Each structure stands twice: as structure tokens, then as C-alpha cells.
Structure 1
């Protein structure tokens, strides 16, 4: 039986949620910010998935670092959508989306920092 990969599963599920939020925003004629959210939010999982086939530890770490940056960017777009009223902070769906984005940032940052071949000074 294959071992579960939490980061693959979380990033994929998050991408699905981002796509659904994008659909709602686009239906309300919010195209530019929703496209930015869509691009960054789906890129997380794409980079995590690509990292699984990394040619080396450095390649794996580099892809995970990109995924971490995309997760941070996604969190930025969510925060911007909240502050401009396109998403409602008190809404359960928005709260959950913010929480998931923060979890992904923490998880991916931890993966990158724990890699022996890649150091981040923070």
C-alpha cells in the first residue's frame, strides 16, 4: 500500500478550493485579482508534484521553495481580496481558506528549512 503524502494531498485539495473561489469571483465580475489567486494557488500543488520527481535533493528543495513562495503569494491575494471586500473575513469558507493557506506556508517552509542542501536565514 502506498504511503500517503500529506503535502501533495493538502496542496491539491487547496488548489481545488482556489479554483472554486475563482469561479465565484469571476461570476461576480472580479477577474484580475481572482486570476492572480488562481495562478498562485494552483501553482503550489504543481510545484509540490514536480518536486516529487526531482532529479536531486537540490532539485526537490528548489521546487518546494517555489511552492512555499507561491503559498505566501496566495495568502497575500486572499488577504487583499478580504481587505477590498471581495471575500468576507467572517465567512466560514474564507476563514477556512485563510487557515489552509497558513498551514501550507508553515508546512512548505518547514520542508525547505529541513532540507540539508538548502539553508534559509530567518
Structure 2
């Protein structure tokens, strides 16, 4: 996948997460989730962009690991919302699918980068 496409895709994921958070019902439990999901979901796109400005392979790996962690955390909170059944399941399924796909992309990227570094 091209760098520009992934920049767009991670930004779109961030926007979708923030839209979901804005539409959660106002309950104590969903406020907690909204805060956590808003932070992790918005961090995916921001940290991916930061990874593209890395000054070394090691810095890139470090930043991409953060991206992976934030994507996984977002996935966790989406699963919690799914089990609480407080929002449209179709919207959640789309976001869960996107989180899964992004996770797979980031894992592959990390593996390929580590392999390239080790083969230098």
C-alpha cells in the first residue's frame, strides 16, 4: 500500500472513531470508553504520520510499534462497545474490520522493516 493511501486511511479511521465517540449515549460507562477510544483512535493517524518523519530505522520501528499498540487498543474498546450493545452494530463491525486490517498492515510493515534491518 502506498504511503499516501495509508495516511488517508489512518486519518479516515481517526475521523470515524471520533464520530462514533460523539454519538455514544451519555452514560457513565460510555463516557469512560469514549475518553479512552477517542485518545487511542485519534492517536493512530497522528502517530502514523509521525512515523513517516522518523530519522532512522530504529525510530521508525519505535513509532510504528506505537501505531500498532494504539490500533489494538482501539480494537479493544470497539469490542467492549459491541458487547455492551449501545451503538449501531453495523458501524461497529465496519470499524472493527478496519482496525483488523490496519493491524495486519502494521504488523507486516514492522516484520518487513525488521527483516530489512537485520539483512543489512
Same fold (TM over 0.5): yes
Tell me how large the CA RMSD over aligned residues is: 1.6
1:4 positional shift:
5.3
Instruction: Give distance in 2, aligned partners of 1:109 and 1:96.
Output: 20
Q: Secondary structure, in 3 states, of the residue corresponding to 2:23?
A: helix
Gaps in structure 2 of 5+ consecutive residues: none
2:3, 2:84 → 1: CA distance? Answer: 38
Question: Which 5+ residue runs of structure 1 have no aligned equivalent?
Answer: none
For 1:40 and 1:4, the matched residues in 2 are separated by 21
1:21-100 maps to which residues of 2 (within 5 A)?
Answer: 21-25=20-24, 28-29=25-26, 30-89=30-89, 91=90, 93-100=91-98
Query: Is residue 105 of structure 2 the alignment partner of residue 107 of structure 1?
Result: yes
TM-score, length-scaled by structure 1:
0.84
How many residue pairs match? The answer is: 112
Q: Calculate the TM-score normalised by the size of structure 2.
A: 0.86
Shift of 1:5: 1.8
Q: Is the 8 A contact 1:64 1:112 kept in 2?
A: yes
In the aligned structure 2, how far is the partner of 1:79 from the partner of 1:94?
A: 8
